[in-house]
A = this chain, B = another copy of it.
Amino acid sequence: MTTQQLVSEINRKKSFLCIGLDSDINKIPQHLLREEDPIFSFNKAIIDATQHLAVAYKPNTAFYEAEGLAGWTSLQKTIEYLNDRYPEVFTIADAKRGDIGNTSSMYAKAFFENLGFDSVTVAPYMGKDSVEPFLEFHDRHTILLALTSNPGAFDFQTKSLDELELYKRVLETSKTWKNAQNLMYVVGATKASFLADIRKIVPDSFLLVPGVGAQGGSLLEVCEYGLNETVGLLINASRSIIYASDGKDFASAATSQAAALQLEMEQVLNAR
């Protein structure tokens, strides 16, 4: 998917909501455990119930890998369902991969070719040649970790690296990489005030913002500092939507939670 197509969808749906499919067999409603593939059934129901309110879905690979082959099967069925049924939504493999060049090429193949995601999250620690193999793919997007939403973000990311905080150094340096136009960045909502500085370095890039909802970040604060001319934001919520209810009404409860966030987003977009 092109960035322009993503922006069109955002304007059409008046939403820049991404829903994180952190689907855990121990947390989904009990009655789904009777299904042949409970995780896929859960994801399908969540997607069908929210697809008019969200522009992106983000399965987190850890939750699928934890179940081994069965989990990888659920992941594959989920991305196939999204691509077949809702080709207009943007898909993100939240995989946080990254390795030496020839290995990163294999990860890029895994997520862009084999599974068919529009984008994948990538860790920057190993530098340029660990990221560029992902950037080679036309109309696919590499979402680089810059400033994450967890407490450990302050261990290294916010420390000064040659007089510039590491996450800013990552942003600056990544702009010089080949096909940098295919980069987006992960910036945690729990550090919304950092977004002003980040926008000075990457004014035009899309930012994927986790941490709204269960992790406590504020949507309005993120918008205040993070919006750019083409919106430029995907705000992710996972647990607060997908686990809104653990009963048979889980899908409609997810609709309600997603609708509340979409409404806030619509108001923000209308107020611009």
Contact = CB atoms under 8 A, between A and B. Distances in A.
A68 B60 CA distance: 16
Interface residues of A, number: 61
A70 to B, nearest CB: 10
B62 A107 contact: yes
A44 interface: no
Interface stretch (A125-133, A199-207, A225-233, A246-254): A125-133
A103 B152 contact: no
B110 A125 contact: no
B60 A69 contact: no
A152 B129 contact: yes
Contacts of A68: 72, 76, 110, 114-115
A151 B107 CA distance: 18
Contact of A161 (B97, B111, B159): B159
Given A69-B72, A72-B69, A110-B62, A22 B152 contact: no
- How many copies, total? 2
A151 B104 CA distance: 13
Interface stretch (A4-12, A33-41, A142-150, A260-268): A142-150
Interface string A84-125: 000000000010111111111011011101110000000111
Contacts of A102: 22
**Residue in A60, A62, A101, A160 whose Cβ sees the most chain B Cβ within 10 Å:** A62
7 contacts: A22-B102, A22-B103, A65-B106, A67-B114, A68-B110, A68-B115, A161-B166
